[in-house]
Amino acid sequence: MKNICKIGMIGLVLALVNCQSVNYNKMFYEDVKPERVSDQFSFTEGPSADKEGNVYFTDQPNDKIYYWDWKTNQVIEFLDKTGRANGTHFDKDGYLITCSDDQGEIWKISKDKKVEVILKGFEGKRLNGPNDVWNDSFGGMYFTDPLYERDYWVDFKQELPHKSLYYRDKDGKISKLETFVQPNGIVGSEQFKKLYVSDIDAGKTYVYDVLGEGKLSEKRLFCEMGSDGMTLDKHGNLYLTGDGVHVFDRSGKKIYHIPIPEKWTSNVTFGGEHNDILFITASKSVYTLPTKVKGVK
């Protein structure tokens, strides 16, 4: 009986190991490495895909926004003078929302490049420098506001004594939801009703349940790793950045690592015709990696 139990346990362990192996083999192609698309930038950040699968991203030191055209595999300049845009995300109406931290603002940019400043501060005070943003289906947005004093800021004086997560509703009302050491990357999912926020200086990423419009559960520790940027695939796996791209399953267990030959990997998203191309911003370059999985919508 004991031998049967032992054999059964060994079989279970092997099955679990094989299951884990199959999981990431179903996600990534063997021997396919990230391809550098361009290295013409100073520091790339904030990738987000439009409805056609083209990926927009920022070069903050040069104050520009570019996009990657998946049909031609070319990078094209979209906008100059962006308010030093950092993180970006498309809202449900197709506007590009940017964390334009030069004056502590959030911008809404149309495809024909018309700019509207939709957020300038909180309770009459300048924001530290909005960093990353995620738009929900209600027409609102969650955004992080850490503090990274930029050498191009002129006469900056910190007016808010905290670094926080905020929610701006569809009518423009802003609520402070939580304070962190240094909040950074953020991503959410309507499908899974989750919001993930990285506290990069604390070396942690947290998860919330999304309970309604601007309403979150208490935060829970997701994993002991901070991140500059992040994205989700359709299975709920979370992709974090820093030393390459680290993939975590829904339980917070690390299941895969994608090395990137750059000093720092800042951010990541899915794009392309079928939303299955991982687009990676890393230092002075941008990369693409075909995968077997699609990004979450």
Per-residue pLDDT of 184-224, as tens digits, reads 999 999 999 999 999 999 999 999 999 999 999 999 999 99
Residue 14 reports pLDDT greater than 90: no
136 three-class SS: coil
* CB neighbours of residue 193 within 10 Å: 13
User: Could you identify the residue written with the tokens 């802003």?
Assistant: 174
- Measure CA 3 to chain center: 49
- Cα separation, 189 vs 294, whole angstroms: 13
Rounded mean pLDDT, 147-172: 93
Q: Residue 154: its pLDDT value, please?
A: 84
**In the structure encoding, which two tokens stand for residue 77, read together?**
């300049």
- Of 1-10, 30-39, 104-113, 151-160, the range with the lowest mean pLDDT is 1-10
For residue range 36-81, list pLDDT tens digits in order: 999 999 999 999 999 999 999 999 999 999 999 999 999 999 999 9
**Residue 62 per-residue DSSP state:** G
For residue range 230-264, list pLDDT tens digits in order: 999 999 999 999 999 999 999 999 999 999 999 99
- Whether 206 contacts 197, CB under 8 Å: yes
Share of the chain above pLDDT 70, in %: 92
Q: Residue 13: its pLDDT value, please?
A: 40
Residue 287 reports pLDDT greater than 80: yes
**Residue 70 per-residue DSSP state:** T
Which has the closest alpha carbon to 237: 215, 259, 272, 268? 268
Q: Residue 19: its pLDDT value, please?
A: 41
Superfamily of domain 33-290: TolB, C-terminal domain (2.120.10.30)
- Cα separation, 223 vs 225, whole angstroms: 6
